[in-house]
Amino acid sequence: AQSVAQPEDQVNVAEGNPLTVKCTYSVSGNPYLFWYVQYPNRGLQFLLKYITGDNLVKGSYGFEAEFNKSQTSFHLKKPSALVSDSALYFCAVTFEDTGFQKLVFGTGTRLLVSP
């Protein structure tokens, strides 16, 4: 079955340190991968996506993610975390079987950045 896994329920990092939020996927065929962020009382906001091309994609607010086909991973990274990055992060995938029309989400990872 097509799926996305976010193995960490929560990631804690100190402000100014680099952060990584992990995501692995399982799909047949080529995946299109996304990261969304959810702040309290706000809708999901798009951060970045990988469709094809360069394995390192850059997105909003200084975030980037690296697509690794051999490890079936799409980890979210930021070189220097801010307290305001604290939120719930979701990895999602869409794939050819669905006509690329629906997203399959992971269970989310809560990022806590301490001052």
Partner 1 sequence: GAGVSQSPRYKVAKRGQDVALRCDPISGHVSLFWYQQALGQGPEFLTYFQNEAQLDKSGLPSDRFFAERPEGSVSTLKIQRTQQEDSAVYLCASSSTTGAYTEAFFGQGTRLTVV
Helix, strand, coil share (%) of the chain residues, nearest 5: 10, 50, 40
63 vs 94, beta carbon nearer partner 1: 94
Is 108 a residue that touches partner 1 (CB under 8 A)?
yes
Residue 43 CB partners (closer than 8 Å, separation 6+): none
Candidate list 16, 28, 46, 71; residue touching partner 1; CB under 8 A? 46
CA angle (25 as vertex; 37, 87 as ends), nearest 5: 15
14 vs 112, beta carbon nearer partner 1: 112
**Interacting residue ranges for partner 1, rule: CB under 8 A:** 4, 32, 34, 36, 41-46, 49, 51, 90, 92, 94, 98, 100-108
